[in-house]
Amino acid sequence: MSKLLRLLGGATLAAMIAWPVVAAEAIKPAAREWSFNGIFGTFDRAKAQRGYAVYKQVCASCHGVKYLAFRNLTAIGFTEAEAKALAAEAQITDGPNEEGEMFQRPGRPSDRLPMPYANDAAARAANGGALPPDLSLITKAREHGPDYVYALLTSYSDAPRGMTLPAGMTYNKAFAGNQIAMPAPLTEGQVEYIDGTKATVAQMAEDVVVFLHWAAEPNLEARHRLGFQAVLFLLALTVLFWFVKQRVWGDQH
């Protein structure tokens, strides 16, 4: 009997210890309708361009997209002249020059988008020890991908009563543990959209997710087209084989 009581007491204690961990688990993000989902999915160019504006004005100060060059932006509807102008706004480190020194120059379409920090150590030093992740593949690297990133950006709030956050942490119910070192990045009207769209937090979050998912899968539309063409080809081949079978073996029945 005493052994049973000890086992029950141990189980109760374990449950009491584990409960705060379970309570602090991240919520499963709600599934959203994205234009790029499904076999006929495509990227909404207007949203992707607005998403680039959000990335440039809000995210780029801490997060890079190291695989993306300015010339790639023509794939989401920017003209070559616009991509060239966007590149020229950036300052790119180049060199060495004739004196053996590095120098700054305006960006070119062939340049990749500049990284916010020279290296990981500099990034950690500027962010209290936390390393801001590169966003090139963020929607592919996280479970539930685009839904998770959208939920993360829109799930900041005050901590529940009785919960004390460590210094430098912010409450976010979509993040595992509900404590995140990144402060809420989006606020109402933070970005001025040139097409007149109202820049709500939800709108900016949706737009930047579309942009980041395009950055992670720039060949998505081409794959969808190729897959659709392959299905059509196989259907046509099936019909052709059926006619051949009828022609060759029809008199055997």
Question: From the centroid of its chain, how far is CA 139?
Answer: 4
Neighbours of 237 (CB within 10 A): 10
| Burial tier of 65 (Cβ tally within 10 Å: 0-12, 13-18, 19+) | buried
Mean pLDDT over 209-228 rounds to 85
Question: Which of 114, 157, 139 has the alpha carbon at shortest distance from 27?
Answer: 157
Q: Which CATH architecture has domain 23-68+113-243?
A: Orthogonal Bundle (1.10)
pLDDT at 128: 85
**pLDDT higher than 80, residue 46:** yes
pLDDT at 134: 95
220 pLDDT tier (thresholds 50, 70, 90):
confident
**pLDDT higher than 70, residue 224:** no
The residue ranges of every structural domain in the chain are 23-68+113-243
**pLDDT higher than 60, residue 3:** no
pLDDT at 24: 54
User: Is the pLDDT higher at 32 or at 18?
Assistant: 32
